[in-house]
Amino acid sequence: MKRRHHEEHINHERWAIPYGDLITLLLALFVVMYAVSAVNETKFRVMAQSINEAFNGTGKVIEPIREATPAAQVPLPNQSRAPAAAPIAKIDVPIPPRNLPLPGHEGAAPERQEAAASVNTATAANTAIGKTEAASLSQIADEVQRAMKPLIDKNMVSVRKTPDWLEIEVRTDILFPVGVAKLQAPAEDVLRKLAGILSPFPNAMRVEGYTDNTPIATATFPSNWELSAARAATVARLLTTTGVDPHRVGIIGWGEFRPTADNATDEGRNRNRRVLIVVMSDKAAPARFYSDADRVDLSAAGAR
């Protein structure tokens, strides 16, 4: 039997193979073009310059130093040239050596003299700053004394000044009830007056809280430390919300451990319950917390 010959079907999708190759070549072309365009021009120029110098030399010539033309010989614009003056005979005059040591200071180096001058300049600058800070503290003290005179006369407010800081002590009788850290209404008026005085000055301040030795153990204040710190924070918050820059203010709670009177009596315990607003100069800020220098009680002087 004769086998029937099957006709082969024509493949109409043969175009996909060269089309895919073309797309692949185009993709490779674009990748190469992007890589060429992303060359770091600075590095390419440095590399090209280095290769050029390696094969052709640097091409730089060291030129001799030329004498500068004297300023007197350079004519100014729109100015006629003056006739040349007759040459002056050159006379060799010995020039004395510089930086000779003074009599009695043989061997002194000029560097030491310059260092001494720098030290004197720095000392003068520090002295001027110290005088400015002292004047600022004195001005604050005067204004506080005038504003708080009725309370100073009643020994409810005290103002004490040292060469480097100013202490404004406010008794807690007018600030807080016993065992709490919430300000009483009359105390807010007093602190707002102090804030109005202190806000224009750039001096750093610390608000310090103190208590007597009466134990306290509540859910809010487990000890006198927490009570004293909370009272200092309350005063500091009112000052800063009334105009004092908060970046200048810090708080400290000393608790019962820095008394100024004997806690055996009611009067002594009352004196120990206090808040201090300490206004400091920059140089005295750290020293204030380690020692109590001799100070002048300005409130006592004003009462006389």
278 Cβ neighbours under 8 A, 6+ residues apart:
165, 166, 167, 168, 205, 206, 207, 208, 288
For 130-303, the fitting CATH number among 3.30.1490.190, 1.10.540.10, 3.20.20.70, 3.30.1330.60 is 3.30.1330.60
Can you tell me the distance from the alpha carbon of 282 to that of 203, in angstroms, rounded to the nearest whole number?
7
Where along the chain do its domains lie? 130-303
Read off the pLDDT of residues 77-107 as tens digits, 9 standing for 90 and up: 455 444 444 444 444 545 544 444 444 444 4
Neighbours of 279 (CB within 10 A): 22
Is the CB of residue 242 less than 8 Å from the CB of residue 249? no
Q: Are strands 249-255 and 165-171 parallel, antiparallel or unpaired?
A: unpaired
Q: Where are the beta strands (DSSP E) in the chain?
A: 157-161, 165-171, 204-210, 249-255, 274-280, 296-297
Angle between helices 110-147 and 185-198 (to 10 degrees): 150
pLDDT digits (tens, 9 = 90+) for 102-152: 444 444 455 555 554 554 554 444 444 444 556 678 888 899 899 888 888
Which 8-state DSSP code applies to residue 98? S
The 10s digit of each residue's pLDDT in 252-261 is: 999 999 999 9
AA identity, residue 250: G
- Residue 250 phi/psi, 5-degree rounding, is -130, 165
Supply 224's token pair: 């006198």
Instruction: Work out the widest C-alpha separation in the chain, in whole angstroms.
Output: 148
Q: What is the pLDDT of residues 153-179, one digit of tens each?
A: 888 889 998 888 999 998 877 888 888
